[in-house]
């Protein structure tokens, strides 16, 4: 994965964070899609309704959320998402996993001597004429070792 593809980062990593966030808040009280959008944006996530609502539907299909439409509001009524017992079980597993991950990624990395920092940047942010930080150097082809028959026989014995 390259850092220059924010959509790939979103698909592969951030969707999982959003699900944890949604389950966490639904455990506190029923949540509404618009409120979730505002909450996720407050945390710096750039999420659109076109991404959020299918995500909520998927979480509902998985049995983690239960959707309730406001009575007498018609098909476009406000939808309240409640955490289900299955969603609560998933959230408990996720909380344990997040604690373990935080310990390894944050706390243990503070205790270990750090390697020199390698900064990743978006290619678009690098001014022309400057080398890209963290750019991989070309790899030389592997050297071919030619052995004589005499050397090969000696190695076998």
Q: pLDDT tens digits for 58-85?
A: 999 999 999 999 888 777 888 999 999 9
Q: Is residue 92 part of a domain?
A: yes
Q: Of 51, 59, 77, 48, which Cα lies nearest the Cα of 22?
A: 59
Domain assignment present for 131? no
Asked whether residue 51 is domain-assigned, the answer is: yes
Instruction: Compute the radius of gyration of the chain from its Cα atoms.
Output: 25
pLDDT, position 35:
95
Asked if 45 contacts 18 with a C-beta cutoff of 8 angstroms, the reply is yes
Tens digits of residue pLDDT in 128-137: 443 333 334 4
Per-residue pLDDT, 152 = 53
Predicted local confidence at residue 151, as pLDDT: 55
Residue 95, domain member (yes or no): yes
| Nearest C-alpha neighbor of 87 from the set 62, 68, 69, 67 | 62
Q: How many domains does the chain have?
A: 1
Above 60 in pLDDT, residue 10?
Answer: yes
Decide: 66 and 84 in contact? Cβ < 8 Å.
yes
**Residues spanned by the domain of 64:** 6-111
Write the CA distances from 142 to 119, 136, 137, 139, 146, integer angstroms: 28, 17, 15, 9, 13
Q: Which residue has the higher pLDDT, 45 or 122?
A: 45
User: Backbone phi, then psi, for 135, in 5-degree steps?
Assistant: -70, 135
Examine residue 23 and state whether it is found in any structural domain, yes or no: yes
For residue range 31-67, what is the model confidence (pLDDT) as tens digits? 999 999 999 999 888 889 999 999 999 999 999 999 9
CATH number of the structural domain spanning residue 46: 1.10.10.10
The Cα 90–Cα 66 span in angstroms is 14
* Residue 149, domain member (yes or no): no
> For a pLDDT cut of 90, what percent of the chain falls above it?
43
């Amino acid at each position: 994965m390259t850092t220059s593809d924010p959509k790939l980062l979103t698909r592969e990593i951030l969707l999982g964070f959003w699900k944890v966030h949604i389950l966490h808040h639904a455990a506190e009280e029923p949540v509404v899609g618009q409120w979730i959008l505002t909450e996720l944006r407050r945390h710096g996530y750039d999420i659109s309704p076109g991404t959020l609502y299918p995500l909520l539907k998927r979480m509902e299909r998985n049995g983690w959320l239960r959707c309730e439409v406001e009575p007498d509001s018609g098909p476009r009524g406000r939808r309240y998402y409640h955490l289900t017992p299955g969603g609560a079980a998933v959230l408990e597993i996720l909380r344990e996993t997040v604690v373990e991950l935080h310990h390894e990624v944050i706390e243990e990395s503070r205790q270990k001597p750090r390697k020199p920092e390698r900064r990743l940047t978006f290619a678009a942010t690098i001014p022309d004429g400057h080398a890209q930080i963290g750019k991989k150097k070309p790899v030389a082809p592997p050297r071919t070792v030619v052995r004589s028959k005499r050397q090969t026989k000696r190695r076998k014995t």
